Homo-oligomer: A and B are copies of this chain.
Protein backbone atom coordinates (compact mmCIF):
# COMPACT_ATOMS: atom_id res chain seq x y z
CA UNK A 1 0.00 0.00 0.00
CA UNK A 2 2.71 2.39 -0.97
CA UNK A 3 0.86 4.84 -3.20
CA UNK A 4 -1.48 7.68 -2.43
CA UNK A 5 -3.52 9.67 -4.96
CA UNK A 6 -4.67 13.11 -3.84
CA UNK A 7 -7.21 15.07 -5.84
CA UNK A 8 -8.13 18.62 -4.92
CA UNK A 9 -7.51 22.26 -5.65
CA UNK A 10 -4.10 23.85 -6.01
CA UNK A 11 -4.89 27.50 -5.71
CA UNK A 12 -4.24 31.08 -4.74
CA UNK A 13 -5.68 32.23 -1.42
CA UNK A 14 -5.88 35.75 -0.05
CA UNK A 15 -6.63 35.71 3.64
CA UNK A 16 -7.58 38.30 6.19
CA UNK A 17 -7.61 37.53 9.90
CA UNK A 18 -7.63 39.72 13.03
CA UNK A 19 -3.82 39.35 12.94
CA UNK A 20 -3.22 40.62 9.42
CA UNK A 21 -3.81 39.98 5.76
CA UNK A 22 -1.99 38.38 2.85
CA UNK A 23 -1.69 38.96 -0.87
CA UNK A 24 -2.33 35.96 -3.11
CA UNK A 25 -0.47 33.07 -1.49
CA UNK A 26 -0.26 29.33 -2.05
CA UNK A 27 -3.43 27.51 -1.06
CA UNK A 28 -5.83 24.77 -2.11
CA UNK A 29 -7.07 21.53 -0.59
CA UNK A 30 -4.61 19.27 -2.45
CA UNK A 31 -1.73 21.53 -1.45
CA UNK A 32 -2.51 21.25 2.26
CA UNK A 33 -3.30 17.52 1.98
CA UNK A 34 -0.05 16.89 0.09
CA UNK A 35 2.11 18.86 2.51
CA UNK A 36 0.63 16.99 5.47
CA UNK A 37 0.95 13.57 3.81
CA UNK A 38 4.55 14.33 2.85
CA UNK A 39 5.46 14.11 6.56
CA UNK A 40 5.20 10.33 6.12
CA UNK A 41 7.46 10.07 3.03
CA UNK A 42 4.74 8.18 1.26
CA UNK A 43 4.79 7.86 -2.52
CA UNK A 44 2.05 10.37 -3.43
CA UNK A 45 0.66 12.07 -6.50
CA UNK A 46 -1.47 15.21 -6.70
CA UNK A 47 -4.15 15.43 -9.38
CA UNK A 48 -5.19 19.03 -9.95
CA UNK A 49 -5.19 21.97 -12.37
CA UNK A 50 -3.59 25.42 -12.36
CA UNK A 51 -3.23 28.32 -14.79
CA UNK A 52 -0.19 29.77 -16.53
CA UNK A 53 -0.06 32.37 -13.75
CA UNK A 54 0.89 29.77 -11.14
CA UNK A 55 4.51 30.17 -9.96
CA UNK A 56 6.83 27.28 -10.64
CA UNK A 57 8.25 27.67 -7.11
CA UNK A 58 4.87 26.75 -5.65
CA UNK A 59 4.82 23.51 -7.63
CA UNK A 60 8.45 22.92 -6.64
CA UNK A 61 7.36 23.09 -2.99
CA UNK A 62 5.38 19.93 -3.65
CA UNK A 63 7.83 18.09 -5.91
CA UNK A 64 10.70 18.86 -3.50
CA UNK A 65 8.76 16.79 -0.97
CA UNK A 66 8.60 13.81 -3.35
CA UNK A 67 5.04 14.55 -4.36
CA UNK A 68 4.48 13.57 -8.00
CA UNK A 69 2.95 16.58 -9.77
CA UNK A 70 2.65 15.02 -13.22
CA UNK A 71 -1.11 14.92 -12.58
CA UNK A 72 -1.27 18.70 -12.13
CA UNK A 73 -2.46 20.05 -15.48
CA UNK A 74 -1.09 23.49 -16.35
CA UNK A 75 -3.40 25.52 -18.60
CA UNK A 76 -0.96 28.12 -19.99
CA UNK A 77 -3.63 30.55 -21.14
CA UNK A 78 -5.79 30.02 -18.05
CA UNK A 79 -5.86 31.53 -14.59
CA UNK A 80 -5.51 29.59 -11.34
CA UNK A 81 -8.46 29.08 -8.99
CA UNK A 82 -8.57 31.95 -6.51
CA UNK A 83 -10.30 32.22 -3.14
CA UNK A 84 -10.33 35.12 -0.75
CA UNK A 85 -11.81 35.15 2.72
CA UNK A 86 -11.96 37.15 5.91
CA UNK A 87 -12.15 35.52 9.34
CA UNK A 88 -14.20 37.02 12.13
CA UNK A 89 -12.75 37.68 15.54
CA UNK A 90 -13.76 34.27 16.90
CA UNK A 91 -11.83 32.57 14.03
CA UNK A 92 -14.68 30.05 13.74
CA UNK A 93 -16.64 31.90 11.10
CA UNK A 94 -15.55 33.62 7.92
CA UNK A 95 -16.89 35.54 4.98
CA UNK A 96 -15.90 34.59 1.45
CA UNK A 97 -14.82 37.78 -0.31
CA UNK A 98 -14.09 36.27 -3.73
CA UNK A 99 -14.25 32.91 -5.51
CA UNK A 100 -12.87 32.78 -9.05
CA UNK A 101 -13.11 29.26 -10.45
CA UNK A 102 -11.02 30.05 -13.55
CA UNK A 103 -9.39 26.83 -14.85
CA UNK A 104 -11.27 24.80 -12.26
CA UNK A 105 -14.52 25.40 -14.17
CA UNK A 106 -13.54 22.87 -16.87
CA UNK A 107 -11.38 20.53 -14.80
CA UNK A 108 -11.17 16.98 -16.14
CA UNK A 109 -8.85 15.21 -13.73
CA UNK A 110 -6.32 12.76 -15.20
CA UNK A 111 -4.76 10.21 -12.86
CA UNK A 112 -1.14 9.44 -13.94
CA UNK A 113 -0.76 5.88 -15.24
CA UNK A 114 1.66 5.00 -12.43
CA UNK A 115 -0.96 5.81 -9.81
CA UNK A 116 -3.95 4.01 -11.23
CA UNK A 117 -3.26 1.10 -8.91
CA UNK A 118 -2.68 3.25 -5.80
CA UNK A 119 -3.92 1.70 -2.59
CA UNK A 120 -5.22 4.91 -1.02
CA UNK A 121 -7.21 7.66 -2.72
CA UNK A 122 -7.85 10.98 -0.97
CA UNK A 123 -10.69 12.87 -2.63
CA UNK A 124 -10.25 16.46 -1.48
CA UNK A 125 -13.12 18.92 -1.52
CA UNK A 126 -14.19 19.44 -5.15
CA UNK A 127 -17.27 18.92 -7.32
CA UNK A 128 -18.48 15.34 -6.62
CA UNK A 129 -18.35 14.56 -10.35
CA UNK A 130 -14.62 15.31 -10.38
CA UNK A 131 -14.17 13.09 -7.32
CA UNK A 132 -16.14 10.31 -9.05
CA UNK A 133 -14.09 10.66 -12.24
CA UNK A 134 -10.87 10.03 -10.30
CA UNK A 135 -12.36 6.93 -8.69
CA UNK A 136 -13.47 5.61 -12.09
CA UNK A 137 -9.96 5.95 -13.49
CA UNK A 138 -8.49 3.60 -10.88
CA UNK A 139 -7.60 0.21 -12.37
CA UNK A 140 -8.77 -1.73 -9.35
CA UNK A 141 -10.75 -0.84 -6.27
CA UNK A 142 -8.37 1.00 -3.92
CA UNK A 143 -7.99 -0.45 -0.44
CA UNK A 144 -9.10 2.84 1.05
CA UNK A 145 -10.95 5.82 -0.40
CA UNK A 146 -11.32 8.92 1.77
CA UNK A 147 -13.64 11.74 0.80
CA UNK A 148 -13.76 15.30 2.05
CA UNK A 149 -16.57 17.61 1.02
CA UNK A 150 -18.45 20.72 2.11
CA UNK A 151 -21.95 22.15 2.45
CA UNK A 152 -21.69 23.97 -0.92
CA UNK A 153 -22.07 20.63 -2.78
CA UNK A 154 -25.01 19.66 -0.60
CA UNK A 155 -26.73 22.82 -1.75
CA UNK A 156 -26.02 22.50 -5.47
CA UNK A 157 -25.08 18.88 -6.30
CA UNK A 158 -26.63 16.69 -3.61
CA UNK A 159 -27.42 13.67 -5.80
CA UNK A 160 -23.93 13.61 -7.33
CA UNK A 161 -22.46 13.97 -3.85
CA UNK A 162 -24.54 11.07 -2.52
CA UNK A 163 -23.38 8.93 -5.45
CA UNK A 164 -19.71 9.45 -4.61
CA UNK A 165 -20.30 9.17 -0.83
CA UNK A 166 -21.72 5.71 -1.57
CA UNK A 167 -18.36 4.68 -3.11
CA UNK A 168 -16.00 5.68 -0.30
CA UNK A 169 -14.72 4.01 2.87
CA UNK A 170 -14.14 7.14 4.93
CA UNK A 171 -15.86 10.51 4.85
CA UNK A 172 -14.48 13.55 6.64
CA UNK A 173 -17.07 16.26 7.17
CA UNK A 174 -17.59 19.01 9.68
CA UNK A 175 -20.30 19.01 12.34
CA UNK A 176 -22.62 21.51 10.64
CA UNK A 177 -22.27 19.68 7.33
CA UNK A 178 -23.03 16.33 8.99
CA UNK A 179 -26.18 17.89 10.41
CA UNK A 180 -27.15 19.38 7.05
CA UNK A 181 -26.54 16.10 5.22
CA UNK A 182 -28.67 14.05 7.61
CA UNK A 183 -31.14 16.45 9.18
CA UNK A 184 -30.03 15.18 12.60
CA UNK A 185 -28.69 17.40 15.37
CA UNK A 186 -27.06 14.63 17.40
CA UNK A 187 -23.71 13.78 15.82
CA UNK A 188 -24.06 10.18 17.03
CA UNK A 189 -27.31 9.81 15.13
CA UNK A 190 -25.94 11.76 12.14
CA UNK A 191 -22.91 9.44 11.93
CA UNK A 192 -25.19 6.39 11.96
CA UNK A 193 -27.19 7.82 9.05
CA UNK A 194 -24.00 8.58 7.10
CA UNK A 195 -22.79 4.99 7.67
CA UNK A 196 -25.95 3.89 5.89
CA UNK A 197 -25.07 6.11 2.90
CA UNK A 198 -21.92 4.05 2.35
CA UNK A 199 -18.83 5.01 4.37
CA UNK A 200 -17.76 2.47 7.01
CA UNK A 201 -15.80 5.20 8.77
CA UNK A 202 -17.23 8.63 9.50
CA UNK A 203 -14.94 11.41 10.73
CA UNK A 204 -16.77 14.48 12.03
CA UNK A 205 -14.50 17.50 12.35
CA UNK A 206 -15.46 20.05 15.02
CA UNK A 207 -12.68 22.60 14.40
CA UNK A 208 -11.30 23.88 17.70
CA UNK A 209 -13.45 21.26 19.46
CA UNK A 210 -11.63 18.29 17.90
CA UNK A 211 -12.73 15.38 15.74
CA UNK A 212 -14.81 12.23 16.19
CA UNK A 213 -14.19 8.93 14.40
CA UNK A 214 -17.19 6.60 14.15
CA UNK A 215 -16.91 2.94 13.11
CA UNK A 216 -19.78 0.52 13.66
CA UNK A 217 -20.68 1.04 17.33
CA UNK A 218 -17.27 2.45 18.20
CA UNK A 219 -16.38 6.07 18.62
CA UNK A 220 -12.99 7.70 19.14
CA UNK A 221 -12.33 11.35 19.88
CA UNK A 222 -9.26 13.51 19.31
CA UNK A 223 -9.28 17.03 20.74
CA UNK A 224 -7.69 19.96 19.00
CA UNK A 225 -4.57 20.99 20.88
CA UNK A 226 -5.43 24.07 22.98
CA UNK A 227 -3.38 26.87 21.45
CA UNK A 228 -2.55 30.32 22.76
CA UNK A 229 -3.49 31.76 19.43
CA UNK A 230 -5.06 30.53 16.21
CA UNK A 231 -3.43 32.70 13.57
CA UNK A 232 -5.13 31.43 10.39
CA UNK A 233 -7.50 28.40 10.27
CA UNK A 234 -7.25 28.12 6.45
CA UNK A 235 -6.32 24.58 5.41
CA UNK A 236 -6.65 23.01 8.88
CA UNK A 237 -9.33 20.55 7.76
CA UNK A 238 -7.33 19.58 4.66
CA UNK A 239 -4.19 19.21 6.74
CA UNK A 240 -6.10 16.92 9.11
CA UNK A 241 -7.27 14.82 6.15
CA UNK A 242 -3.76 14.74 4.66
CA UNK A 243 -2.22 13.58 7.94
CA UNK A 244 -4.93 10.95 8.30
CA UNK A 245 -4.52 9.65 4.73
CA UNK A 246 -0.72 9.86 4.74
CA UNK A 247 -0.40 7.93 7.99
CA UNK A 248 -2.70 5.14 6.76
CA UNK A 249 -0.94 4.95 3.37
CA UNK A 250 2.42 4.74 5.12
CA UNK A 251 1.51 2.17 7.78
CA UNK A 252 -0.58 -0.05 5.47
CA UNK A 253 -2.82 -0.94 8.40
CA UNK A 254 -6.55 -0.26 8.09
CA UNK A 255 -7.57 -1.55 11.52
CA UNK A 256 -9.72 0.66 13.73
CA UNK A 257 -6.84 0.89 16.24
CA UNK A 258 -4.62 2.31 13.51
CA UNK A 259 -7.36 4.65 12.31
CA UNK A 260 -7.34 6.16 15.82
CA UNK A 261 -3.64 6.90 15.45
CA UNK A 262 -4.32 8.40 12.02
CA UNK A 263 -6.85 10.77 13.62
CA UNK A 264 -4.27 11.79 16.23
CA UNK A 265 -1.66 12.42 13.50
CA UNK A 266 -4.20 14.44 11.54
CA UNK A 267 -5.04 16.55 14.61
CA UNK A 268 -1.38 17.02 15.41
CA UNK A 269 -0.52 18.30 11.93
CA UNK A 270 -3.61 20.54 11.86
CA UNK A 271 -2.46 22.13 15.12
CA UNK A 272 0.65 23.38 13.30
CA UNK A 273 -1.20 24.54 10.19
CA UNK A 274 -3.18 27.22 12.07
CA UNK A 275 -0.09 28.82 13.62
CA UNK A 276 0.89 30.85 10.55
CA UNK A 277 -0.70 32.15 7.35
CA UNK A 278 -1.49 29.61 4.64
CA UNK A 279 1.06 26.84 4.15
CA UNK A 280 3.90 28.72 5.86
CA UNK A 281 4.02 26.59 9.00
CA UNK A 282 3.64 23.30 7.14
CA UNK A 283 6.50 23.88 4.71
CA UNK A 284 8.91 24.50 7.57
CA UNK A 285 7.85 21.60 9.75
CA UNK A 286 10.30 18.91 10.87
CA UNK A 287 9.82 15.46 12.40
CA UNK A 288 11.21 16.48 15.77
CA UNK A 289 8.50 19.12 16.14
CA UNK A 290 5.81 16.63 15.13
CA UNK A 291 7.00 14.10 17.72
CA UNK A 292 7.13 16.74 20.41
CA UNK A 293 3.56 17.68 19.67
CA UNK A 294 2.40 14.06 19.60
CA UNK A 295 3.77 13.84 23.13
CA UNK A 296 1.69 16.92 24.02
CA UNK A 297 -1.38 15.11 22.62
CA UNK A 298 -0.62 12.14 24.83
CA UNK A 299 -0.23 14.36 27.88
CA UNK A 300 -3.46 16.12 26.97
CA UNK A 301 -5.60 13.01 26.67
CA UNK A 302 -4.09 9.96 28.34
CA UNK A 303 -5.05 8.91 31.87
CA UNK A 304 -4.79 5.80 33.93
CA UNK A 305 -7.94 4.55 35.62
CA UNK A 306 -7.94 0.87 36.53
CA UNK A 307 -11.35 -0.73 36.26
CA UNK A 308 -12.34 -3.92 37.99
Contacts and interface: CB of A to CB of B under 8 A. Distances in A.
A189 B218 CA distance: 34
A221 interface: yes
Contact of A264 (B187, B212, B230, B305): B305
Interface residues of A, number: 38
Contacts of A64: none
Interface in A275-308: 291, 294-295, 298-305, 307-308
How many identical subunits does the complex contain?
Answer: 2
Contact of A186 (B210, B228, B264): B228
Contacts of A294: 305, 307
Contact of A219 (B264, B295, B300): B300
A160 to B, nearest CB: 30
A223 B223 contact: yes
Contact of A220 (B185, B189, B299, B308): B299
Output the residue of A189, A218, A219, A303 with the most chain B CB within 10 A: A303
16 contacts: A186-B227, A186-B230, A189-B228, A189-B229, A210-B223, A212-B226, A223-B223, A257-B303, A257-B304, A264-B303, A291-B307, A294-B307, A298-B305, A298-B307, A301-B302, A302-B303
Contact of A229 (B186, B257, B298): B186
Given A206-B209, A299-B218, A300-B219, A188 B305 contact: no
Task: Report the 9 A-B pairs with minimum CB-CB distance, sorted nearest first.
Answer: A209-B209, A260-B303, A221-B223, A188-B228, A188-B226, A221-B300, A301-B301, A261-B305, A291-B307
